[in-house]
Structure 1
Amino acid sequence: MSQESLPKGIHLDLHRSFGALTECVVLTRPDRRILYTNDAAEKTFGYDRHELVGQTCEILFFDKADFEATGDLNQEKSNTSKNNRFTLKLKRRNGKVFTAEVVNSAIFDATSSHVGYLFIARDISDQLVLEALVTEAAKTLEDAINAISEGFALYDKEDRLVVCNEMYRQIYPESAASMTPGTHFEDILRSGLQKGQYDLGGKTEDEWLSERLRKHKTADGKAIEQKLADGRWLNIAERRTRSGGIAGIRTDITPLKDAHAKLAASNENLVRLANTLPSTIIEIDRDGICILANDIACSWFAKTREELLGTKVRELLPEAVQNSSKNYLDLAFAGTPAQFELPINYPDGNKRHVRLEYLPKIDERQRVQSLVACATDISDIKKAEADLKEAYRNMTILANSLSCAISEIDRDGTCIFINEIGASWYGGTPDELVGTKFRESLPEEAQEKNRKLVDECLAGNTVQTEMETTFPDGETRIVEIEYTPKYDDHGDITGLITLSTDITRRKRTEETLAELYSITSTRELSHEEKINLILKLGCEHFNLPFGIISHIIDNRYTVVRAESPNNEINVGDAFDIGDTYCALTVAADGPVAIDAMKSSPYAGHPCYAMFKLETYIGTPIVVDGEPYGTINFTSPDARITGFSQTDREIIRQFADWVGHEIARQQDQEALMEAYIRLERISSTDDLTGVLNRRAFLDRAGTELARFRRTKRAFTTVMMDIDHFKSINDTYGHAIGDAVLQKFADIVKDSLRSVDVFGRVGGEEFCILLDSSGREAAFQVTERIRKRIADECIVEPLSRPITCSVGLSAVRDGDVEFSTILQRADGALYKAKEQGRNRCVAYSSVADELAPIE
């Protein structure tokens, strides 16, 4: 697209401004017909530029409604700051649809007239794919939960169902239909109550429900036994998750409960029942001798019942297990039931995680004569718990893989959780920051703003804001923060979750491009001012203190413009190009960016040895197609965040615009110099170098106008070289010209800079003596006349050159300079009449035709 096809008022090299951007850029007229597309737009949409130019940009939209919505912009320039950012579907040439984040903005010229639209789009399809992968990971987690052999359910901090496995639904078939994600635990209980699922044990429904909810909300990991209406018994273990939710395991313990019941009825029934249980049942006397063992126990200990009975069965277990369980054994023989869990390698070669219960058997004299040990294999439950921990660990990994900072703090501001990105901003690790009030390390101004937002969030509001501040790691960031309140099971706010996204580069790039366009498109700034503002803008964008524009001639690097906080860099400083980092830039013929010079391959560079500048980014400047120098930005501190490709493109744009402004400045200076030369030629007498008649009369008119305003007097002096015609006739025009030149040089040398001197005729000259009355002017002209007579000698003339002089001071009634000139001319005529070589001033008496000496 040619520059001429741009709407009036847009002064921009589109290819230099947008050509290298990775975002799609489309410039349209007010009727939304396409004027320009950058390379990224052609590549993304699959069109050649000539296919798009002239078309409406509707062909890029999947939905016509989106096209119309993005065009609904206010035509007033004052409204262009409103949010015009959209997420919508666009369409490639091949018909494929993709999702993009779009910014659409109206463009106005210097007269605030609407001249078009700027359309910027970024393909976020990959981002959506990542989100889909996260969803798939959640499904995988759900599959893993379904593999658990016990009933498992996870409820969130609001007590709403997050996920449950199929076994959980099978355990509660009557309420299974209500077990959908998002359903409250209480509602699921009520569904079962309505269908008679539970044995209420003589309680009313409300009493039973209240008791069950109380135990559920306690969720301290202790076992809860629950009887169902069909006679089944469940062992329920519920525990709080770190996020405030509740995870629970339901184990069908009906066989165990039946066994206990039958044990109380008769020992024979206990033996018969024990053999049906999935747990080991062993009874030992006070000496540790096995007096009862069920089939499961025999299987685990790899012995027949006959082999097991009569042995000290505990001695068949590893010594470490004997030692760790001894205290529980002693407690049970003292009359107190004991329950504990531990992993055991059994003689059958299997390692099981078991829940052991030691139940003392008390005789009629209330003495413990033996105890029954019941070991239940809870390996699957433990595996489910481990899987749950692994899921939490995976969630933590996911949080750490995000590019944003995530943290949870309580009402006092104490950190409960923070991911690795967030911890790095505060100069620590998650382990170091959990338990601390890490936000107190922010600057006071940021803390104050943060306190107000936290208070608003703790009042129950989700708050979003943008904030720019310097973090403890030393980096200044612009962050987009969302504060979300965290509620407990009672609906009370216990803290808040913060999601902080670093938008520094995006905001800085957007602001820099907008400011660059503002600087380069205005007509109110000179070329010099634009260049200086671009240099300052570069320091601000890269957050570097020093900015330099250099001019390089014959390997000599000279600072022509500089930006520094304390004027450390002087314009005019010069160095050999090899002693500057810009030698790298010139050799690369493009942008060079170094984050930490000390650890780079250029640590031995002479510039580093002299100035210890750690950070550098620079690129060549080209003026009218010829190398001019460089633009570069530096700092003595290493850069925390490395330079991006966008940074390299930004400095390239800076260089392009600086080169453009330098070229235009040189053009303007050349034009001005030519104008001055032309003005000098048109106003100067070629022979004598003094003002010619036209220029002199222009100045005289100006002086008269000033006199009429300020009453600042002046005197007009007419001078004529005596007998000049005879000199020309006798000696020729060459000698005559020499006389005129000599005469003019002497007069010029005798005048002040404020006086005006010009040649108004062949041998006639005129002077305006500034701030001089008639008497003072007469003395001045008399001195000049005598000096002419003494010094104006030109070979081969044998006699001295003389002149006649007539003077006339300005008067209040003078309106035209010709009036004054006429009086001075009359005085000159009088001087000639009286014999020449004299000065005559026009009389101030009423008779103006009688000039006097």
Structure 2
Amino acid sequence: MRASDSLQPTGSGPDGLDPRLRDALFAAALNDIPSAIVAANTDRRIILVNRAFSAMFGYAVQEAIGRKSIILYESEAKFEAIGQERYQLAASANREPYVVNYRRKNGDVFPGETIGVPLHDADGKLLGFVAIIRDITDRFRAEAALKESEERNRLILEAAAEGIYGLDAQGNAIFVNPAGARMLGYAVEELLGCNAHETVHHSFPDGAPYASADCPAMQAMNSGEPVSVTDEVFWRKDGRPFWVEYATTPIVKANEIVGAVTTFQDVTERKKLHLALERLHSVTSSRRLNFGEKIRAILRLGVEHFDLAFGIVAHVENDVYTVRHCISPDGGLRPGQQFALGETYCVHTLEAGGPLGFHHAGASAIAAHPCYRAFGLEAYIGAPLLVDGVRYGTLNFSRPKPLGHPFDNSDLELVRLFAEWVGNEIARQRDIEELAAAQEELKRLAGTDELTDVANRRQVELLAGHEVERARRQRADMAVFVLDADHFKRVNDDHGHEAGDQVLRVIAQLAKAQLRSVDVFGRLGGEEFVGVLPDTPADVAAEVADRIREAIAEEIIPVASDGLSITVSIGVAGLLSTDETFREVLNRADRALYAAKGAGRNRVIHHDHMNE
């Protein structure tokens, strides 16, 4: 199709479309184009523009129509030069873009990347020209800034703390600043001319080969799009990797990528902090580790992260420092050992009321401290331990050799987080012990269902009330499930009430076998049971409930000649921040149970997944 076909005047045409519909479609398509469209006749008067033209040049459509296109050019000389070139364009098939300086209505001059298209009628007669214009001011500014900054870059390379290197189009280093060379362990001259990827980026952190085609920096050079990477390593001359954060920006000249600039910084310490926090979360959220194992895991994590030898959780009461949990390299430090608080560095930590650390006690005023004289501990970092908002003691790490660097703010913040988590674990353990004691006391007071040997309704509601209060106080997770035997009436009708009783006992035994000692499980009445799972999100509780359902469905209960199978339906709900009583979360679990019954039984339904 000739360009003129898309600009034919309004009227009946060979396409059979209503002229108004055709004009509307044409206008809509034209105005959807983001580039400016300008059509001019052979007298160079403007006959058609789109909305993008108005936005780019500042002229309203009716303001531009009929005027000579000289109003769009930077100068009359440029207007005349383009006028000569357009006839050469009409005679050739060349449609390559060219750059012209245009002028907006407000007088501003800007560069426009332009494609010129001649318009012919059906007989090949030249009717005019269409120009498709894209404002490339930003690109020109970037190129100008690059040229202006070349000298400045040469000067700042010497002073920059970040590593910086430049690459040619083949990925070879053409400049490296001193900071980058130091980080990589090379002299500047050793890196010039070397392929950067093969020299410093050749392998993944585990040592596996890193193909150049997969390298984000090389991909940036191929695509022309800058990249930023936050989780990779560079390799030093001595073969040691270090974590880096780097950005690669392609260098473009005359629409051609001629190289790239990469800036990088060593983020090893930040990465270590991130990994430590991930490990801390993994430890504290684990359902496999008991209280003592969690505390020891946190102590090991601190010892490894801070590169120290001793890790201690100490209880302080009446100025007596008692070791509760500890890690020591020779096993010489044991839980239960006591010291006068004033003879430990922790006295300063408690006086400060926050994290405290020093890396070389012997070279500071701390050298006069009794702890230094008695134990020679050079490096120390610690933080106060609070349990339910009340001072418990300290979490601290130390070693007899000085560290090669001071502790920074991230170290102090991390030990504070460690102490906060240890305090939470101690508080949680206290709650668990109190809950266990309460369970025993309630059992002694006949809080057990006689038939199933699980908690009765009164005991469940009492324990669950305590759990709701604790979860609200600590902003912890808690979930509840309600379980009901499917078609239980048939069991009683077909096999008698003794068989029904045996079914309930088996259900209770199988359910309890899937639960932890800290979980509360009891019988609400009839064939309905309830479970309360502290420190458990509702999604996890749903998985536990499904294991219970499967265990019951697979069990053959010996109450008939061939045994009896039964299924259960379970509804699950999690404690909400707005819940004030156990009854609120129980009601949601109950609604989920009825949804499970209505959906065909023998299933678990999570209240949050219901469409209420």
The TM-score normalised by the length of structure 1 is 0.28
Q: Which of the pair has the greater relative contact order for Cα pairs under 8 Å at 6+ separation?
A: 2
Higher Cα Rg, which structure: 1
